[in-house]
Amino acid sequence: MPGGRALHLGERTLVMGILNVTPDSFADGGLYLDPGAAEAAAVEMEAQGADLIDVGGESTRPGSDTIAAEEEIGRIEPVLKRLARTVRIPVSIDTSKAAVAEVALGEGAALVNDVTGLRYDAALAEIAARSGAGLILMHARGRSRDMYKEARYASVPLEVAGELRASLERAIEAGVRRDSIVLDPGLGFAKTPRHSYEALAALPAFAALGRPLLVGPSRKSFLGAAIGERTPSGRDMATAAAVTAAVLLGAHIVRVHNVPGMVDVVRVADLVRSAGLEAGGTTDGTDDIL
């Protein structure tokens, strides 16, 4: 990452806390629009055990509209200025726009989290390559407003893996170091609930791409297929189950809203996983340094 910092992946599962500075995100829209409130939330997440903070200035929930880069920058820049002074853990910027990523990296962000896998703005990869930032590439199809029209798969494991591989290759061709890239199967994005569960179950297959994996099931609507209709905050127990499954199946990072609760979940799941490995299991071979 920039400045010679390294994020060690594979020793234990890392917890990424979600910090949306948006008015319309599905789980926490409007809570952290004020930069002071956002800063306080980030400081609290760090104290609660988060390993990274993911700051987002544009909602990517299904049906949301894209906003201009200038508006997104106006939301994230004052927050990142504050976090650079008060938070010691790495900060990620959740954006698909090169202009936003460039500003965020200039304000101290160390990673870029692109939910489009470089399909929206290929120049984002060049920004990441030039800065030495870590790059998270998520699988999705279409844009937020119409993504479910693209939820057609003959084989979720094969098609998601193939499209993640294409994103990985685009990043490397743009100059991003292979060991700076993390892949995310994109639970809930251009996927029916069944597709999301299939993608979660397929984590060992995605590990064959040779890069660490991030999984983000937190409070998403696909969990309702198992537990019925709930508010986003009412899905925390279901999120815990999905996070546990992700850890046991090889996730290196989990992205969550409820940091203290999921830190506890991850610590227990990590011990179960390590006990299994000590008893004769195998690793997925993707332990790496970002």
Q: Which residues are catalytic?
A: 220, 255
The structure tokens listed for 137 are: 């590439």
Cβ-Cβ contacts under 8 Å for 76 (sequence gap 6 or more): 21, 55, 56, 57, 93, 95, 100, 103, 104
| Beta carbons of 148 and 62 less than 8 angstroms apart | yes
Number of H helices, E strands in the chain: 10, 10
Burial 39-72 (b: 16+ CB within 10 A, else e): bebbbebbebbbbbbbbbbbbbbbebeebebeeb
| Beta carbons of 257 and 219 less than 8 angstroms apart | yes
Helix (H) or strand (E) holding 138: strand 134-138
- The DSSP line for 81-122 is HHHHHH--S-EEEE-S-HHHHHHHHHTT--EEEETTTTSS-T
Q: At residue 8, what is the residue type?
A: H
203 by DSSP, 3-state: which? helix
The structure tokens listed for 67 are: 């906003």
The radius of gyration computed from the CA coordinates of the chain, to the nearest angstrom, equals 17
Between CA 216 and CA 74 the distance in angstroms is 26
